[in-house]
Structure 1
Amino acid sequence: MLFKQGHVYIMSNQYRTTFYIGVTADLRSRVWQHINGEGSAFVKRYQLHDLLYYEYHERITDAIDREKQLKNWHRDWKIKLIQEMNPEMRNLKGDLDLP
């Protein structure tokens, strides 16, 4: 049986004041959608166009479970998680070859 892979990701605005946690089977396409205003209304409203963090999971169900877990975390915990992978909290969209 084949399992669909997934990613958990965190988007933010340029000031790093608001975070959005999402899950997707196609990270590159989903980030592109967010950047172009085709993602969620929340991302569009708060201009959360910077990809700060992502995790790969072999099964989409594991990614969904992780997303739910992260959404319950305190802000400080989320920032620490991001900084473990991305200490400067830079936009990682370039890692995905997005314009």
Structure 2
Amino acid sequence: MTEQAKYHGLPSNEEVDSMVELFKAFGDKTHYRIISMLAAHKMTVNEIASQLDVSQPAISHQLTVLRHAGLVVGERKGQFVVYQLADQHIITILQQAREHRLS
């Protein structure tokens, strides 16, 4: 029996790594703002950059991090990529975090 198997409910190393990556993505102010904006509607890099008054390359980098964390997806529309949240769970996480912090 492995040391980890002795403890019921202890997550695997892979699960821990995945959850840490998820919460790191939420833990960045710019990421949080982008996620909040995409919860309202789909947006391009330029639209996000304009709203946040941040350079397009900086937003592109942030979106790459969020894509790797599985939080956003992009769809090519002509010469633009339109970003949206990966799924409804992201909105649920946002809502629950807000309720937790504001209660």
Query: Structures share a fold, TM > 0.5?
Result: no
Instruction: Please give the TM-score of this superposition, normalised by the length of structure 1.
Output: 0.30
The one of the two structures with greater contact order (alpha-carbon pairs below 8 A, sep at least 6) is 1
TM-score, structure 2 length as denominator? 0.29
User: Higher strand fraction: Structure 1 or Structure 2?
Assistant: 1
